[in-house]
Amino acid sequence: MAWIILGIAVFTEISWALSLKWASTAGNWMVSIVPIVLSFVNMGLLALAMRGIPAGTAYAVWTGLGAVGVIIGGAVLFGDKVSGVQALFLALIVIGVVGAKLTSAS
């Protein structure tokens, strides 16, 4: 169950980071509420996941997949450019996250 919660936390992390960019371009102060709310939800889910997953593993998965998701989301939603070299290093992050999951004690 902790891994499912961590997966939701990763999705929330990606949504939070992308909502920051969205809020900065929307020009409406009420839009700024979205990243604030997502921040609290995000931290709560990560803390909950860490009850069943070692902190280092949970944090590595959360930040690694979060970074990959934000880069992909930025490219899709905002037209951010991703080079071939960046894509290679993103693949290495995913490989590292899978390795962390496979070798985790939980």
Q: Where are the domains of the chain?
A: 2-102
**For residues 53, 54, 55 and 60, what is the CA-based torsion angle, rounded to 10 degrees?**
-80
Highest mean pLDDT among 13-17, 57-61, 94-98, 102-106: 13-17
Residue 106 binned pLDDT confidence (cut-offs 50, 70, 90): low
Place of tokens 């371009």: 25
**DSSP secondary structure code for residue 29 in this structure:** G
pLDDT at 24 over 90: no
Average pLDDT on 85-96 reads 93
Share of the chain above pLDDT 90, in %: 77
Could you give the 3-state DSSP secondary structure of residue 83?
Answer: coil
Residue 25 binned pLDDT confidence (cut-offs 50, 70, 90): confident
Share of the chain above pLDDT 70, in %: 99
Contact 54, 105 (CB under 8 A): yes
Q: What is the structure's pLDDT at 86?
A: 94
Average pLDDT on 33-50 reads 96
Task: Say what the pTM is.
Answer: 0.86
